[in-house]
A and B are shown apart, each in its own frame.
Chain A
Amino acid sequence: MAITEVERRRGQLAALSIAAVVIIVGVPLWWRTTETYRAWLPVSQIKDLAKLQLHLSADVEVVFARGTVTPEQQKKVPLTQTQDEEHTVDGDLLMQFMILRSQNMKPARSFDSQTFFPEDTTLRYRYETKYRTATIMEEDALKKPTAAEADLSLHMLSESPCGSLVVYVIPESSSLLPEDVNVYIGQRRTALVRISAQMRVGKTLEQLLAQLEPQIKQVLQVMSFSHTDITVALSDRVRFRPGNKESIADSMRAFKSSPGYEITFSLLNPDPKSHQLHWDIEGAVQTYIQPLLTKLSPLANFSMDSQTLYYTMLGVTPRFDSSFEAYTLNADSLAHVINPVEARLGSNAASSNPVLNFLLYVPDIRHSPLYIHDHRKQEVPSNAFHSPRWGGIMVYNVNGFYGSETEFPVHVNINMAKVMGVFLAQLRLLLGVQSLSPPPGFLVAPCGSTGLADWELDRLMWSRSVENIATATTTITSLAQLLDQIGNIVINDNIAQQVSSAVTSLQLAMAELEVGNLGFALQYSKEAILASEKAFFDPSLLHLLYFPDDQKFAIYIPLFLPMCVPILLSMLKIVSEARQRRREKQAKKE
């Protein structure tokens, strides 16, 4: 009996110790070894970023030339004023709609909508206006015969930093501007505003400033950011707000912000037996296109290549129009031209940057000359068309270069200045330089030989910075939401580091925008986008670990059940024996 007692005790101890080891050592060990490594992410900062609050600030300097202010008014100048405008743009209506719908549909995972989805965006615009009188050198510059020369000499005197504007107020007697024009917008960051006679007689300075304000506001809308531009740049977050049609068409036409672009120039020669074409593409690119790209280098990197394609026809047969004595392509058939050609264009296999294609098509001798007609059957002067987010095609007729008795093939030198003029205009449109029609009474100077005015560059930088910040914010918040929802994705250290650096860059970019340092803001926003895209598209973030609950049971039960059953049974036996002994003891007592 004693032996069985000892053995029974030993059995009980064994069962208890096994159970203890399983619970104290086994379960935590299993938990730690099956958990996925997730590095720490700055989730609270990301949530703060989700409610995007952008503060944009622009510096404007208003300079009064002699003859615009009376001596009493002049005493009060110099003066600084600050104006704030607040706008709230509602969050993505569609997103809210989808959240509500998904809550009704009970998706596989619960959609924690309150934490992360894009909320309303608040925008605050601040214009810091400084008023002062002109210096003697500026007065001399304003005495030049034409507005363009005045603009040039004013630019020589002082160069405004990017993002800022200088507006010169000139008296009515000045002969710089033609009769019906009140405002001249220069190639750099200056504008000339002509004051009208009744504005300055017998008014105090405040009244004068109040009278000038609408015109200055108009100048700001043209040369600096406007609410419509910023809303269009935020189109990721506020997609389904119908703005005005032109701005939406602009946003569809221009390429989205990307760290690099590839530009390809192609010469299409369908008839090499008749035309031997020669184009000095390297020289033309160096002279005409490179200055623009150098100016745009803060925005993105550009790489260029060129090619010549032989025996490539347009996909559409042009019709002969006897009234014009030429072959015509009407605007409706242009849409079908691009696809057959695109199959033949190559692209750089190594990079994933968006590609801008510029094609120069020289029609074959049987279809020369070839003109493009618009909807009203009028000839298009540039003889070119472009496709949004793709590129442009120009038709170059060479039949004027030779008579009918010449020997074929004819050697033709293509006039690259004309060709590049058209391509440059198309490049501007595709990169997002908006061609808005200025308000009445405005004269806009043609952009210089680089193809881009300074204030146009500023506008591009504003909208790019805002777009980059909005896109990076959306990327980071959706990445955080994704990692939150799917608990099985491993978050490596490098991803956490990219996310942290993206968050830091975003905060810095927004701070720089608030102060008005446009160059730094753009640079930080580019860093933010690069880091956020790298984190979001990291190959290690692939979620392939969807286990429905029945599969989890099917995996663990055969492993753990055979082990647990004897332990549980012996536990039960111990408990029942203990209870029985207690009952016997009680019975013995009584």
Chain B
Amino acid sequence: MTQTRFYRTQNSEPEEDTKPTTTTTVTTGGGGRTAMRVIVPLQGVVQGRGGLVLGSVIPCALFYFLQLYLKRHRSNPTAPPSPPATETTPSSSSSSGQLTEISGLHRSLSRPLLSPRGSTGPAYISSRANSIVKSSDSPYYVGLKKVSEDPYDELDNPDGVIQLGLAENKLSLDLVRDWLAENARDSIIGGGGSGGGELSISGIATYQPFDGLMELKVAVAGFMSEVMKGSVSFNPSQIVLTAGATPAIEILGFCLADPGNAFLVPSPYYPSIDRDLKWRTGVEIIPVPCRSADNFSLSITALDRAFNQAKKRGQKVRGIIISNPSNPVGNLLNRDTLYSLVDFAREKNIHIISDEIFAGSTLGSEEFVSMAEIIDSEDFDRNRVHIVYGLSKDLSLPGFRVGVIYSFNENVLAAARKLTRFSSVSAPTQRLLISMLSDTRFIQKFIETNRERLGRMYNEFVAGLKQLNIECTKSSGGFYCWADMSGLIRSYNEKGELELWDKLLNIAKINVTPGSSCHCIEPGWFRCCFTTLTEKDIPVVMDRIQKVLQTCKSRS
């Protein structure tokens, strides 16, 4: 089982130090606290005191044992003697990634898959599938599951779990609903009862362009400008629509990087990007840690260091992924930082993916600057800049699955358009959104009201935490605050953090996201989404946290 565990560590699920089997790899990674967060274990080995020797000996040894294992367990003598060479060819650059891929092969699942009816043995599924089937036990997913099993409801289930772990916005849904009730009657198949309207059933039933209807692209471009307060205009022909931001990120991953290549991602970053980006593409993520001392702001020096380390390892870095407003911290990237990012990308000849999915959900007065604006104002080869957007957050319609790739690179657009055949937006939803987004008066009012409500909730929530002596970083955007509970954890490490998380989930019954799920290198930080609440819920949440705090007092 060693290798299976090993893979999960590599997958950066925050559970490394709890699994005894991984400790050999992990503790060599330099010792002390940093060891805990080693993302690619072998990377850790190489950088740590073990140095190059261990870094090469361990993988070789593991690989050798694996081959032995495969040889011994090839039960069917008639099967082709497929040499390990064939299995290892696909990924060539990183030996660790390769190793773990193979180690996932057929084993962890073979036993449960053995059907009593089958006489010939287990059904082998792919190692890609094996790698993920059991990976859900990261706290982020555990928490979400817990809420879905026992959701809080003021009247029906007052003892249920309160959701603070999902970045969805319930604050302004009434506005959308009212619009629909008044206006949407004919938006799907137009023309009312006559059936002879401009848009008949064939306008939604038949094949439509996979990358989205042009009318919707025009409407989305308008919405994006509106959300960014007119500071920049978007060209609809540079838009590719996908079924949510999840496939948008993945498609960019497929287009910009080959298996084994890597993206630099400033951490903490939002938890699901690991799965969204890496799983099927075979692309790697190199977290670039930001620190509380700098208010978790991005440092070009750290990026540069990570880039050079990757280069030394022989790993090709294809780009950098930022989220702006940042998820989970909630800070914005200012103009200067964006310019230096662009310079950095140019110097290293890599791409920039800017996830701006919260652009319209800003708090307070700080100005949001889109990467598109920087590109507009700068004489810069735009081909390397790609923006990800969606309607899940700013229009609070995650169920509608509309994601946006906005790129300046014709080749990326061409490939992405073709790749949308695997994940396009269903036509009835497109038609509906076209009429909604084209109602500019409604949209303006929506954005304004939503911002207002968001700001109010944020202030109340943060004030509530403050009364409990829990401080948050100053947030300028997003549906969450980034709360510092490091003073409340029993031991200043990931274990301590997860202990507190567990208490919050199981005793206080609130689901927050622990910093370790976001690859935060400092323990004790938590992301709390407040947009799933109503104002009435805030005292309940604070009450529940308070109860847990009392049990934590012993430390101080």
**Bound together:** no
